[in-house]
Structure 1
Amino acid sequence: MARTYESALSHLAALQSNRAITSLFSPPTIPASPLPPDAVASKAPKQDLNALAIPEMLAWLQRAGLSQDDLAAKLRCIHVAGTKGKGSVCAYLTALLARGDEDIRGVAGKVGTYTSPHLVSVRERIAIDGSPISRDLFARYFFEVWDACTEAARAELAAQQAGRPDGVNGRAGEAKAVSEEELQGPATKPFYFRFLTIVALRAFLGEGVRSAVIECGIGGEYDSTNVLPPSSITASVVTQLGIDHVGMLGGTLPEIAWHKAGVCKPGRKCFTRKLEGKGSTEAVVTAQKTMQVLRQRAQEKGAALVEVADGDVERWGGINASDNAAGSLEGGFQKYNQALAVHAAREHLRVLASESSSNSSEGGQRADTTTNESLHNIPSSFTSALQYARLRGRCETREDEHAPITWLIDGAHTAESLTEVARWFAGKISQYTSKARAILLFNQQDRDAAKLVSGLLEDIKANAVTPTDQGETTIFTHAVFSRNDLKPRVISSDNGEETEPERDLSVQKAAAEALRAIFLATSTSALDNVADAVAEVRALASRNDGERTMVLATGSLHLVGALLRTLEPDAKD
């Protein structure tokens, strides 16, 4: 088997398409650990199907040749959970630690970042000092993990056949007939996200990373990344909360907060935005209950919850993105993510410096970055880093190379995130002349797309209203609703027969109907792939008499990923 990057991608695709494969070996069992009777506010769901996740992940970590001791000895991590803003906080943290001055970089060391999902290349998920690891490094660590899992499965099978309790699970099992192909294949490997988490940790250890910024995939308590040992955590962050992944996390903010607060660690600070609730009495009560859960969970875990108040952040004002840095993070709401990152970075540096001082017989000089916790007194290198922090597909502005189009791109996929996108878009569109055309490119395949697009449009209408000649209100002259598929479906060129069935466009058509109910003057189209959607947008822009066309592309990170690949056909995966 070739150990190339292309081969790694092929093997990774097999994992992704085989998430439902049952492991050859039964997962370890764990005893129940009920919460005390008075812990009602933060009690986990009664039927928690995630309870085996961490023991299973620990077993996979062992199969891959890693241990929590390895991680504790070499890595110091900031663990980031939340519903909205996780990626932005991770981008800011990476910039603060990797782009800091000499003193900060001396304390932080080499900086690794693990995030998800990726938009163009899987290598985006694993970065060192802010840049995705190379194709060669990805292939190297990918196959180190792949081969280690294969050999672990071989050893467990031999132990089972010999009737010995020598496997990872610590007990003998019934011997199974397993082919060599199956041993070397995806059935003896963890599923996609777990596998990449282990690849990232192995890469960080192999490349001498000292500071790691780790983003949770889903939740926190049972997320694969929560195998990080408590002693490796310097600080944690719970970003803005919202309703998402209700099947796994619950359908209310307090339930979701229970899971997210799983990143709290004994003796460490966890930074979160203090929820106060705005508007209705129900919103205020929900915010209070959610904060109660976060506080109780932190107390249960022996962590210190640091609640960052909106008022303090608003008085600070945040740091505007640099106009000279393509892809730097925009949007007024980013100041809240910046504040969380600044606090967590300071705490991370403080812990590292403290460890360094205690381990040094001479107590060497260390970076003075924590003498004042005020947001108004941050190092100048922090200011610069916040300006140049980058995160693809989040409030990203880019100019089209082939048409007079400004693409405004954000992968928001929840109602709350789309509200922020609406405000960002309204601010951007107001900078252009009234002759500028605005087009919407939208999709959301897994949630209620019609409801989400309606909310987005109402928020945009509330922030930026352009009257038409008929006295109606419109923002977009045209809206394109596309599936996330990158290219048109395949049709045989020999006999004209379809080799791929027609794609379902019911979601796109429902979203188009929802838009027409709000903006009667907006024309719409529903397409089954992003390449055709981009071609249609460019064709529409060419008819705008040379005036610039603003295109808001949002609703799904999958849509954004396909869009960026279409706009950057020569980009390496």
Structure 2
Amino acid sequence: MLPLLVWPRVGFRIPSLELLSYGGVAIRKFNMALKKSASEEAKHFSSISTVEPHSASYQETIAALNGLQSGARSLQNSAESPSQSKNLKESLKYLQRCGVSLDVFEEQVPVIHVSGTKGKGSTCAICESILRSHGYRTGLYTSPHLITVMERIRINGVPLSTDEFSKYFWEVYHRLSNNKEHELDMPMYFKYLTVMAFYVFMAEKVDVAIIEVGIGGEQDCTNVLRKTPIVGITSLGLDHTQILGDTIEKIAWEKAGIMKPGSIAFTIPNHQPSALQVIKERAAEKKAELRLVPDIETYNLDAAKLTLTHRLNSSLAIQLAHSWMKWRENGPKSDLIKMARDLDDKTLKGILACTWRGRFHTVHRGRHIFYLDGAHTVESTQLCAKWFNATAPKSGRRVLVFNTTHGRSPLNLLKAFIGSHIDVALFCSNNLSIESKKIPQDILNKNVTSSDVEKVMTHNLEVWRTLYNVGEDRSRAIFSVEDTISFIDNLPGSCHVLVTGSIHLVGAFLTLIQEGPS
């Protein structure tokens, strides 16, 4: 069991071993509760096919959706990995099965498709806000969600309501379930939501759909599209290397795979030279036109009004939005589609109106300020540390809360905090609570066991202690977000709390310190 943290410098001791026993006792309690929950859900899931769409509650809907997580079935039957060639074939099959003709979809719902390692969600959000400001009816599909799964599918910038989400979920579910070729012939979690998003955008008659790639690009299930007029590729970094490859060139190849013949593709100019060369070669191979966007400082924008998210991602978003509007006006005549420079009032309004939670995001809670950023690559973590150092006041205790997912190595990520003057580092799981009944269905993750979670936490803690030569008084592993917040609340004085390393960790914190989708 991990040792109880003592705070000798201020005469402070954690008050309750019952609350903070993050080793065997708490984790065994969590395992027992999780097994009970899984057993109950399995019984419920067996009768899902009899649920009537108009009578199902939102919680029943989310329980059914969570039943499509790979933890509920053999991983051998999971098509979540974009490295599997059957991914796109299955996506097309499920779209057709629920009544979405790709030909009709591409004719009625032109798509702006965005890939990249960093900033693709916020780029999509800014682009959507600009287009909505110009009067277009927009659909937006992003992942992952922070608090509720409804955040992933938005119409005119607003997440689907619980009733809307349930209605569309069950319409798609029954169309797919009633035509299964075998018992396990259902799309997994992300693929299901992708099919559902396409279905929703058709039903809602949007003018344009802005779609964020899940992982990679070439084999991502969102890449089922055959005609994509406008494409964006954001910053690249080494991430998901076990799937996408272990070099920046391999990752660039995958991300650039969303370009199609006739696409007008935009990317940033400051990629590594070798990565940019790969993107150029892929554009030529795909018969797409590639353009590099200008620096945000070259636009007629008041920089003082821009957040860090705006500054990093707005130039790409501007070009995506304006090129789509020109494409809609002129058709596929790339010579008539010039890059925007002087921005009109609607574009400026759209940029400034866009907020994207979980990225460079601050929340005041009592005497503490939480700084939340879902950075999970070396480059984004370095940027996160710079933001925190520049934003957080020097007074008060500085607390780091950190976790990693998807097998990422913590060493180079944690090196980013050299010079950040962290007083105490807490290594937490993404689990909201050790009691499963307290975990909202929307953020329940059945793909990861508690033993795996404990190993990651312990490893992160050991790396930090070795890297910074600190002991028990300044570092701690804590199993749940709920108990991590309790720990922070019991520290004397005010704290500046940086939560980073995982967007799922950020989402769990926001669930407790700030409610509701944005």
TM range (shorter): 0.7 to 0.9
Question: Which residue is 2:424 aligned to?
Answer: 478
Structure 2 counterpart of 1:250, one-letter code? G
Structure 1 residues 291 and 69: CA distance shift in structure 2, 3 A: same
Of 42, 53, 67, the match for 1:14: 67
Structure 1 residues 425 and 301: CA distance shift in structure 2, 3 A: same
Kept after mapping to 2: 8 A contact 1:396/1:410 = yes
Structure 2 counterpart of 1:203, one-letter code? V
Structure 1 residues 260 and 445: CA distance shift in structure 2, 3 A: closer
Shift of 1:381: 2.0
The correspondence of residues 276-295 of structure 1 with structure 2, limited to 5 A, is 287-295=272-280
Instruction: Kindly indicate whether residue 407 of structure 2 is the aligned counterpart of residue 447 of structure 1.
Output: yes
Structure 1 residues 455 and 258: CA distance shift in structure 2, 3 A: same
SS at match of 1:200: helix
Shift of 1:419: 1.0
Kept after mapping to 2: 8 A contact 1:113/1:126 = yes
Question: Which residue is 1:142 aligned to?
Answer: 169
Question: Which residue is 2:484 aligned to?
Answer: 533
Question: Which residue is 1:427 aligned to?
Answer: 390
Of 480, 503, 509, the match for 2:458: 509
SS at match of 1:217: coil
Question: Which residue is 2:330 aligned to?
Answer: 354
Kept after mapping to 2: 8 A contact 1:216/1:223 = yes
Q: Distance in 1 between matches of 2:86 and 2:301?
A: 41
Q: Distance in 2 between matches of 1:509 and 1:501?
A: 12
Q: Distance in 2 between matches of 1:520 and 1:483?
A: 21
Kept after mapping to 2: 8 A contact 1:271/1:340 = yes
Structure 2 counterpart of 1:446, one-letter code? H
Instruction: Kindly indicate whether residue 246 of structure 2 is the aligned counterpart of residue 251 of structure 1.
Output: yes
Of 173, 195, 199, the match for 1:198: 195
SS at match of 2:415: helix
Shift of 1:489: 4.7
SS at match of 2:369: strand
Structure 1 counterpart of 2:383, one-letter code? E
SS at match of 1:188: coil
Question: Which residue is 1:306 aligned to?
Answer: 291
Instruction: Kindly indicate whether residue 505 of structure 2 is the aligned counterpart of residue 556 of structure 1.
Output: no
Question: Which residue is 2:317 aligned to?
Answer: 341
Kept after mapping to 1: 8 A contact 2:153/2:160 = yes
Q: Distance in 1 between matches of 2:330 and 2:282?
A: 26
Kept after mapping to 1: 8 A contact 2:159/2:517 = no
Q: Distance in 2 between matches of 1:226 and 1:256?
A: 16
Q: Distance in 1 between matches of 2:157 and 2:345?
A: 19
Structure 2 counterpart of 1:270, one-letter code? A
1:222-278 superposed Cα distances (whole Å, 9 cap, x missing partner):
111111230xx23100100111111221111111111111111222210001236xx
1:362-410 superposed Cα distances (whole Å, 9 cap, x missing partner):
xxxxxxxx997354x111222222122121211111111xx21111101
Question: Which residue is 2:39 aligned to?
Answer: none
Question: Which residue is 1:43 aligned to?
Answer: none
Shift of 1:71: 0.6
The correspondence of residues 484-523 of structure 1 with structure 2, limited to 5 A, is 484-489=430-435, 505-516=454-465, 517-518=467-468, 520=470, 523=474
SS at match of 1:344: helix
Q: TM-score scaled to structure 1, two decimals? A: 0.72
Shift of 1:319: 5.7
Q: Distance in 2 between matches of 1:78 and 1:448?
A: 30
Shift of 1:411: 0.9
Which stretch shows the higher mean deviation, 15-24 or 71-80? 15-24
The correspondence of residues 141-180 of structure 1 with structure 2, limited to 5 A, is 141-153=168-180
Structure 1 residues 341 and 321: CA distance shift in structure 2, 3 A: farther
Q: Distance in 2 between matches of 1:371 and 1:289?
A: 28
Shift of 1:21: 6.2
Question: Which residue is 2:371 aligned to?
Answer: 408
Shift of 1:12: 0.5
Shift of 1:78: 0.4
SS at match of 1:255: helix
Structure 1 residues 77 and 319: CA distance shift in structure 2, 3 A: farther
Q: Which structure would you say has the larger RCO, counting Cα contacts within 8 Å and 6 or more residues apart?
A: 2
SS at match of 2:490: helix
Which consecutive residues of structure 1, in runs of 5 or more, have no partner in the other structure? 28-47, 157-177, 277-286, 323-328, 359-369, 465-474, 492-499
Q: Distance in 2 between matches of 1:150 and 1:490?
A: 29
SS at match of 1:57: helix
Question: Which residue is 2:32 aligned to?
Answer: none
SS at match of 1:262: helix
Q: Distance in 2 between matches of 1:213 and 1:85?
A: 14
1:49-78 superposed Cα distances (whole Å, 9 cap, x missing partner):
432221221112111221112212210110
Larger radius of gyration between Structure 1 and Structure 2:
1
Q: TM-score scaled to structure 2, two decimals? A: 0.80
Q: Distance in 2 between matches of 1:317 and 1:420?
A: 25
Structure 1 residues 245 and 572: CA distance shift in structure 2, 3 A: closer
Q: Distance in 2 between matches of 1:90 and 1:191?
A: 24
Of 96, 100, 111, the match for 1:62: 96
Kept after mapping to 1: 8 A contact 2:237/2:379 = yes
Q: Distance in 1 between matches of 2:404 and 2:503?
A: 9
Q: Distance in 2 between matches of 1:142 and 1:300?
A: 38
Q: Distance in 2 between matches of 1:114 and 1:490?
A: 29
Q: Distance in 1 between matches of 2:107 and 2:266?
A: 24
Compute the RMSD of aligned alpha carbons. 2.8
